[in-house]
Amino acid sequence: MPKILYANASPYSAKVRMAAIVAGVACEAVTVDTNADPELLVSNNPLGKIPVLLTDDGQAIYDSRSITHWLDRQAKGILFPRNATKRTEVEVLEALADGLGDCLLAHVYERRYRPAELAHKPWLDRQWSKALRAIDHLDANLPRLGRRPNAGQLALRATLGYATLRFAGQWEKGRGRLTRWAKGFDRKFPELAALLPK
């Protein structure tokens, strides 16, 4: 059975674990502590980042977008539409949601890994303004949820889960459409919502 190296709080990990369920690919989830650079992680991904998917035949797949594409191939096209234009739209939504995650993560890491007196406020402000610009764009351009979520929608839900975990009460105001979209996702797909960052 393929293994997914992951951590509970990681938005990209939540996305690929949800994608594995949607794709119907049973995976064993193995928690890793990226701060400790465990051998299992760094020997499979020199970047020491999660998620990593380890296939039965010994391939190590990262980053999370290579994993959603691999899962999509296993499931013969469940996570991305077949139509080229629609597929590109889903790929761009996944990139935007992951990029929003990158901004939030950069903000968290700046405060976590630098001594407080060295945290660079203009850098924090820049990441935060990019994040809010992406959130406003998403609030104005909501993806319509169908019978099952595509990879872009999974990425979006996972990243909003991370935003709520680390920045609760700081982004939701004035973005009622997006917060309702997230609640609607959770109501519709409770088994996926169970994997959101925590």
Ligand X SMILES: N[C@@H](CCC(=O)N[C@@H](CS)C(=O)NCC(=O)O)C(=O)O
C-alpha span between 184 and 167 (Å, rounded): 20
Total of residues contacting ligand X (CB under 6 A): 13
Residue 162 has which token pair? 């991370």
70 binds ligand X (CB under 6 A): no
Which positions from 162 to 191 touch ligand X by CB under 6 A, shown as an x/- string? ------------------------------
Name the residue nearer to ligand X (CB basis): 37 or 125. Answer: 37
Give the footprint of ligand X on residues 79-138 (CB under 6 A).
Answer: 98, 105
Name the residue nearer to ligand X (CB basis): 110 or 188. Answer: 110
Q: Dihedral of the CA atoms 86, 92, 98, 104 (nearest 10)?
A: -130
5 binds ligand X (CB under 6 A): no
159 binds ligand X (CB under 6 A): no
Find the shortest distance in angstroms from Cβ 45 to ligand X: 9
- Crossing angle of helices 84-113 and 64-74, rounded to 10°: 140
For residue 116, count CB atoms less than 10 angstroms from its CB and return exposed for 0-12, middle for 13-18, buried for 19 or more: exposed
19 binds ligand X (CB under 6 A): no
Find the shortest distance in angstroms from Cβ 19 to ligand X: 12
What DSSP element (H or E) covers 66? Answer: helix 64-74
Find the shortest distance in angstroms from Cβ 71 to ligand X: 13
Find the shortest distance in angstroms from Cβ 37 to ligand X: 8
Q: Which of 14, 50, 158, 196 binds ligand X (CB under 6 A)?
A: 50
157 three-state secondary structure: helix
48 binds ligand X (CB under 6 A): yes
68 binds ligand X (CB under 6 A): no
Q: Which residues lie closer than 8 Å to 188 by C-beta, 6 or more apart?
A: 145
Q: Which of 23, 25, 64, 161 binds ligand X (CB under 6 A)?
A: 64
C-alpha span between 182 and 159 (Å, rounded): 10
53 three-state secondary structure: strand
Torsion sign over Cα 7, 8, 9, 11: positive
Instruction: Give the footprint of ligand X on this chain (CB under 6 A).
Output: 10-12, 34, 48-51, 63-65, 98, 105
